[in-house]
Amino acid sequence: MQTILVVDDDKSIHRLLAVQLMDQQVELRSVYTGDDGLKTAIADSPDLILLDIDLPGIDGFEVCRGLKSNPATNRIPVLFLTGYCSSERRISGLNLGAVDYITKPFDPAELMARIGASLRTKRLVDLLEHKALVDGLTELWNRTYFDHRLHQEETRTSRQPLVNSCIMLDIDHFKSINDRFGHPFGDLVLRGVGAVLVAGCRNEDSACRYGGDEFAILLPGVDATAAAVLAERLRSTIANLDFVCQGEAVKVMCSFGVADTDGTDIDSLTARADAALYEAKRQGRNRLHPAAPEPTLQASSTAGTY
């Protein structure tokens, strides 16, 4: 269900919109000042904001400027609510990034058409953005999404130090699998490994196809010890799978590297996990290897477990 945030100091407008939209699959949220509109938009990330221009305190133009200058809210469509408004003010609002205007008093048909068009556009944009962050073969998150999540955790931990872990893994002798059984079977193996990762992770974890036959999992709030427990469980599950090609059972093994941010900068997290992965491969493959221990960081919350 999509969410609409209404920012207007006139309570009758909120009641009118509630009546007009009562049969639509939308959730309405109401605030009455520009400051509250900005705070709620950041906290709730609605799908559409209906924004009055003439508000107490900061006006709608200033709210729109604030929304569009914040990366957390700049993609939320803003539809201005206004009484009489000159062409100059309309142009100013559109230049700030608003997608449309609705003039008070509302014509019900026009109101529904403009809101519907804005929500449809938002849904399509969301779908396109989602597809751009998903690996087409495995349907895991892709490298772009992984880098984005890593940046989010870097921002979060700069405010409140928390332990994060990363598991890097790749499929042992994957080139030989492709050479012997063909690339369609190699694709089947990649999808199967991806399915194991998704099934073994929490909702807050990010399992990604990092590139080729290499995968990465970002585990917020989890230390290396707990991450190693998960990695070993994933390794064992994959090793016990039976992939079948033309009646022949094929065993697939993976090597794992594990690192956490305990005492290190999050920028080095994937590099340390990747180095541990290649140490696991050097030691014989089908095993996990932890990154070298680092000085302990005093975390502000208990690390998660698996």
- DSSP secondary structure letters along the chain: -EEEEEE-S-HHHHHHHHHHTTTSSEEEEEE-SHHHHHHHHHHH--SEEEEESS-SSS-HHHHHHHHHHSTTTTTS-EEEEESS--HHHHHHHHHHT--EEEESSPPHHHHHHHHHHHHHHHHHHHHHHHHHTB-TTT-SB-HHHHHHHHHHHHHHHHHS---EEEEEEEETTHHHHHHHH-HHHHHHHHHHHHHHHHHHS-TTSEEEEEETTEEEEEEETB-HHHHHHHHHHHHHHHHT--EEETTEEE---EEEEEEE-TTS-GGGHHHHHHHHHHHHHHTTSSSEEEPPP-PPP--SSPPB--
Q: What is the pLDDT of residues 134-178, one digit of tens each?
A: 999 999 999 999 999 998 888 887 777 789 999 999 999 999 999
CB-based contact 64:19 (threshold 8 Å): no
CB-based contact 258:227 (threshold 8 Å): yes
Residue 223: closest CA among 140, 275, 278, 294: 294
> Residue 302 above 70 pLDDT?
no
For range 214-237, the mean pLDDT: 97
Lowest mean pLDDT among 11-20, 65-74, 80-89, 273-282: 80-89
In one-letter notation, the amino acid at residue 116 is G
Q: What is the pLDDT of residue 65?
A: 96
For range 47-75, the mean pLDDT: 94
For range 206-214, the mean pLDDT: 97
Domain boundaries of the chain, sorted by first residue: 2-132, 143-290
> Residue 301 above 90 pLDDT?
no
Give the predicted TM-score (pTM) of the model.
0.78
Q: In the chain, what percentage of residues exceed pLDDT 90?
A: 80
For range 290-301, the mean pLDDT: 58
275 by Cβ neighbours in 10 Å (0-12 / 13-18 / 19+) ranks as middle
Homologous superfamily of 2-132: Response regulator (3.40.50.2300)
> Residue 55 above 90 pLDDT?
yes
- DSSP secondary structure letters along 96-159: HT--EEEESSPPHHHHHHHHHHHHHHHHHHHHHHHHHTB-TTT-SB-HHHHHHHHHHHHHHHHH
Would you place residue 303 in the very low, low, confident or very high pLDDT band (cuts 50, 70, 90)?
low
> Using N-to-C axis directions, what is the helix angle for 87-96 and 60-69, rounded to 10°?
20
Q: What is the pLDDT of residue 51?
A: 96
Lowest mean pLDDT among 3-7, 158-162, 235-239, 278-282: 158-162
Would you place residue 205 in the very low, low, confident or very high pLDDT band (cuts 50, 70, 90)?
very high
Count of beta carbons in the 10 Å neighbourhood of residue 202? 13
Q: What is the pLDDT of residues 99-140, one digit of tens each?
A: 999 888 889 899 999 999 999 999 999 999 999 999 999 999
Q: Domain 143-290 carries which CATH code?
A: 3.30.70.270
For range 229-249, the mean pLDDT: 96
Number of C-alpha atoms within 13 angstroms, CB side, residue 188? 16
Taken as a whole, the chain contains a residue count of: 306
Q: Mean pLDDT over all residues of the chain?
A: 92
